[in-house]
Chain A
Amino acid sequence: MDLNRRELMIGAAAAAAGALASPALAADPVQIEMFFPVPVQGALAAQMQKLIARFNQEHADIVVTGAYTGSYDDTNLKTRAAIKAGKPPALALMSANFVREYAINDEAEPFDDLIVSGGSTADAFFQRFWTPLHPNARIDGKAYGVPFQNSTPLLYYSVDAFKDAGLDPERPPVDWGEWLAAAQKLTKADGSRVGLMFPGTYDYCGWLTSGLAMANGGQYYNHEYGGEVFYDAPSTVGALSFLDALVNGAKAVPPGVSDANACTTAFFSGRTGMMMLSTGALSFVRSGMKSPYKVAFLPKALRHAAPIGGGSLICPKGNSPERRAAAWTLVQWLTSPEVAGEWSRFTGYFAPNKQAYELPEMKTFLSEHPDAKVALDQLQHAVPWFDTFQVVAVRKAMEDQVQAILSGAAKPAEAAAKAQRAAEALLAPYVNQTALKSWA
């Protein structure tokens, strides 16, 4: 409030000075910043700056400065600090599963009033986005996030390795039994090839684990309420046992924690037959993999499930109505079918806006890139992304245990129980204020 008044006064003074100097400068464009991370390698930051330059050219009344802000975690840190310091960006591209925490902490402003004043409703507006994207964006009925770039995990496999191991490249593993068997067959005794690799690093680890637990019939966390996780539920313990069997039982996955670099490098050089990696890596794999490869749905246990990943646009708290309105114009432009489609083709992410796929460029692209088509078809099995109170810490409570299993230092049941206890301790402050509120 205080700040707004000060800004107003400065603005008024500047306007007065401007009026004295040259009356023609009365309608200054609104200046806003947008924070954006770059989670996949390449010229993405440069491409985003090009998009922003195009937006600025098309909108004389708005000047957007794009600020590259590191990884999703760095972007979160910078946005939080900027809000606390009274310098919130008008728009931030946030990891989609951080949005709930911004809502819980009252650090973001929902877009509903802007949607309504544009003559629409939030329900109508959200119809353009794939349904599994909604739970991470619309928190407690309010539109805190607008999906911009999204991905799911995907099974990549080498055609040559499949043939070499006597597997049919036209018939990728469909369920966990076939998956384990294929991984075993692909593993060479001399260590020159493993069956499967996937990143076990923070963030990736939790994402993939949640996907396995949900494929195993579970929920993994309460999708509606940020205070509950189901780390020690049978569906999760079963998923951990499957990982344990792959790594320590069948020895078809290298022990320990690999990162995405190690996975792609091994995949390109034929040292792993399969890898489980984001659809956001499609462009990168396409350019790096010299021998034929294919992609397939994540195999199912009780059902297919592919957790959503990626980023949504949020408007941090503390922006003036003018800046919010300018940010909303930018949101609509960035998530329009044309721009969303262009970004999808450039990055490998799928376009959250379904209408993008009706454009002729997109139809041509999909017919030329069958791997992108598989990623899109898998969306029918997409499930929302893990989002809770203190999401990073609660996610790590499980990831530390999964990493211990991958290194052979823990067994599934105990690991699950430990993760659950740690997560509950982290969630307690929120739970005690909400679900366990004292009525005495």
Chain B
Amino acid sequence: MADTPFDPSEHPALIDLGQRLRELAGDSAYAAGRDYLKKGLVKQGAVAGTTGYATVSGSTEYRVSIAFGDEVKVTCTCPAHRRNRHCKHVVAVCSALLERPGDFARAEPPPEPAAKKPARAKKESGGDEAPRKSARAPKATKADLQAAGLETVERLMLELAAGGLMTLGPEKAALLADAGELVRSLKLRRLGNLLLALQRAAVSESTGFAHLSADLYLTLTATRNHLEGRLSLDPQGAEELLGKVWRDEDLEPVAGLELVEVASLAESDGEFQVESSYLADLASGRVLIERQITPRALWKGPKPRHRTRLLVDEAGLYPGPAPQRIKLRRARRAPLTLADIERLIQRAPADLAVLRERLVARLSDPFAPERIPVLFRPTSLLTQGDLVGALDQSGRFLPLEWPDGWRKELSSLLEPGAPVALLGLLSLDHPGLRLHCLALVALGLAWEHGPIFPDGPRRR
């Protein structure tokens, strides 16, 4: 350590950065960063040469470096830094350098930021490890980081469980999102996605918040037990739990399928555009999902729909419970006729008990999505006021959730006695199951647009 105290006035680049900080960071990050400084969350400050280092510690610790020599350069280990280089942690440390210079020790040789490789620090220190050890801890293993991430999530969950949604201000909501990003970056994607979903539900005060909290806690526990070797899962289940990104070689090769796209669904979580095509196999009646996930910034509009029959020569099935995701590698377009539609409708389960079993199987997995896409062949469709339902072959009733306008349009399109199948997302509601309909397939639709309602955009 050098004896001379750090004096920011000797560094015009740092002063200039301080003057432009609000403009660079934006009001929200600037205010949050100033708040961190006020709360004393900037710790372990050190200045080496013309670079300042510090840790900003909340529920998660992030390392920040600010170089203010000839060139100003800022780094932070938080996920938000990738989107906004002047994140709230950078604001906090920069403000601390300018306003609380006494909190920063002078260090020689300079400490390395956490992200740098240890080998380089060794080279620069000429093999003398003593001062470097005082500046940074040994590199944590992936398991250590994952354990720390899980601990962070649990702490947040317990805080939420203690105080409820009332205690969730913008800062804690941001912490939830940060924690989600953190565990995702630690290859715990399913947990990260659940955290991000919880954050969205919390901010919108959605009724699903409580169930999401419970699912998240169960997933957290299962993940921890699995990572610590206390839970025996088959390899596929374990990878599902962690949310593995599957590679081509992980997929099960499949060929000879005869597919018809019955419905599609586009959703966005704010960061990614997720487009799902629900494909029915004419031979078996099973539903497969073709999914395209695109960062919002790169999304160029809806993916084209498959409007003809597809004869699949080469495809891969993703591991996981039914309905499985499919990657089409080589498929030929073939005519789609009424005979194909008749086969499709006939293959759809006509018994509500079959669908119920599928949903129960899905719900027994607390970290799987709560809604499953199903194809269902009702014997009749019923209405009462604005309510719509369907009867199965045994007279069991299934409430349907139809998009606005369906009832009026279908009333003028459905021909009497025409066989019908519904493709929708089946979920548990009160008092029973509910089908959120995405498409209706019928042999007798009184229009020229095809056998599927609603008719998707035509390919030109």
Tell whether A pairs with B.
Answer: no
